[in-house]
Structure 1
Amino acid sequence: MEGLKAEGMESQNQPPQSEDQEKGTSFLKTCFNGINALSGVGILSLPYALSQGGWLSLILLLLVAILCWYTGLLLQRCMYANPAIKSYPDIGEVAFGYKGRAMISIFMYLELYLVAVEFLILEGDNLDKLFPHTAIKIAGLKVAGKKGFVLLTALVILPTTWLKSMGVLAYFSAGGVLASVIVVACVFWVGAVDGVGFHEGDMLLNLGGLPTATSLFAFCYCGHAVFPTLCNSMKDRSQFSKVLLICFISSTINYGSMGILGYLMYGQDLKSQVTLNLPIRKISTKIAIYTTLINPLTKYAVIITPIATAIEAKFSFGKRGSTISILIRTAIVISTVCVACTVPFFGYVMAFIGAFLSVSGSMILPCLCYLKINKTARSFGLELIIIVGILVTGSFIGVLGTYISLKQIVNHL
């Protein structure tokens, strides 16, 4: 606490360098890690988001990308202000003390937990499409359909969650960027070669669907939790602003391509995941779905590890051996299975995550922390106007999007 509170103010334009950074991550590897952090299951819902908001909602996709890129830069400036900052919760602690750390940690861990739930829902939906009317027997119990596949997926994933080494887990998480590109390529192939065509998608604007669309867009840019870690790991931290620009441009091109292709192919008939619309007998569809299925399998353990580590650290379980660690991770997996089976609505849950958690963690909290840490930013000027604009926009998206997504979830229970 004292280390974080100590005043170590440095120039915002020239971050302090340490001996550890001489051995840090290269520019190219950091770019790859950043793109991988932004490229996730959200890409599957981009066509659905477009079908909700219409063609003009693409402007909102670009706006959300720009706002989240800018707040990523604000987090970088917060790190430059105090060399003791190593993570996003550290920024919250420097800005608002213990309450700030607790608030950011809660948003981070809840978001990670619900993303893990989304992984299980995605697996259940897509496996049910590949193998419809399938029943699975587990411990003598017969479970049919999506719930059966959710349970099966959890059993497959469970052993990977017992690994505590992030170095080992890195092997499981590799390939996320490639997987996203493959899925987009397969969707294009279905439309261009397999006969679906690009003749749908004629709605210009749907005001009623804009909150849902914007919430889904916000979910796609929720990588802020790892940005401070990526920045701190670089050999040259001053290059991180360029990393952010490359990551956001690359991700936006990928997201935009998927949204446009899917909406042109299926229009208003789009389901929450574009893979559920694809013709099942085509080889391109199978490649897209299998690639989609592999991605969550490789990332689930990475997603829940910070949650498990935080629980172990809080109650000092880490010193008692691996048995309790395994039990904690197993309990987390079981709880996500229960939530996934109770609320199996991929699109609505993703919209809730985007509106409530992603908007808070990626737009509102970075601005508040930056204003608190940097006193000069509170002086009236262009920077303050931009930050206040982001706070107002984020609050509006968050309140309206959270209300609508929760209403949709409750109505479908």
Structure 2
Amino acid sequence: MMKMRIITLSFFVFLIGIGLAGFQTDYQHFFPGKEWKDDRGVHINAHGGGFLIHEDTYYWFGEHKIAGKEGNKAHVGVRVYSSKDLYNWKNEGIALEVHEDPNSLLVQGCVIERPKVIYNEKTRKFVMWFHHELKGQGYDAALTGVAVSDQVTGPYTYIKSVNPHAGIWPTNYPDSLKSWPVDLDRYERPSEEWKEAVVNGIFLRRDFEKGQMARDMTLFVDDDGKAYHFHSSENNQTLHVAELTDDYTDFSGKYTRVLPGLQNEAPAIFKKEEKYYMFSSGLTGWKPNPGKSAVADHPLGPWTPLGNPTRGTDEEMKTTFWSQSTAVIPVMGKEDAFIFVGDRWTPENPIDGKYIFLPVEFENSKPIIHWQDQWDLSFFDQNENTDE
């Protein structure tokens, strides 16, 4: 009887120890599209994610979702996780919190999407930008918001949300088009005339005075410290690439139109051997579509389309493995090793959304992705990531 009591007591102490220490994960591989638990044993809740490497640690920022259709709105805020190895992630809490104050633009029930964080070496501040829609207004506002923090995991202090570049023309927009009328009613969508009007900037001119639309977005910091804000604009028909100010908290006023009229969303940027590469998607709402890729010699462009980066079956290529691009992670300690990150959206119950991590390969100087049921970072040692 005494022996049984000792065993029972030891087991009870063991359970308490687990509760105090938290759920311990020991992933040694990626399992794309599968449930992925954090250090607390909960599926990672960081959708539309952005990734920052700081002091030899990876940080994953993303939209915190809740169950049900209302989960696509921001009821909690932006969550952040940390990792040393990219497989196992520690829940670091809420980096940016939404408020109950109805006078705040960052009120519960607004929309916060695709949060991205970059670090400013000069100011020693962490700067977060995100796509922001106002509560009760659907996707009409098309704002981008900014917040800052002294600590990588936050809390982040919200500064403002804006429609960028009010009264400012893109540097690559011809003077000859600036005075053209905004006569949207004359075009039948999607006629060839309408498409031509879009390419010529009819939505750009429409929004010139109030500021441009800024929806799906990402950030990129170049080797010289210059930071750029990529966002889907002009009714999602054209991307804008905007230079940020030296402190990364505002727009410098210098920006370009990129791939006009080609309907790119979900941009994800990385740099390899002095070339800049972009993954993006088409426009099909929450439904997956064929991925896109492009290349440039400078973040501001011009950008050249490279086609669908997905390699696989027809269904896989039509859906980008049932995902949408959100980020590209450079792998620490490995030269020219990059990971494509995509979301598998589940709009009926957003909290169930899964993530796709896949190695980026190159084929004829084009970035491509193949499906992997299971893989690890040794992939980059076995495959030197050179063109085949």
Q: Quickly name the TM-score band, shorter chain normalised.
A: under 0.3
**Which structure shows the higher helix fraction?**
1
Please, what TM-score do these two structures have when normalized by structure 1? 0.23
**Which structure shows the higher strand fraction?**
2
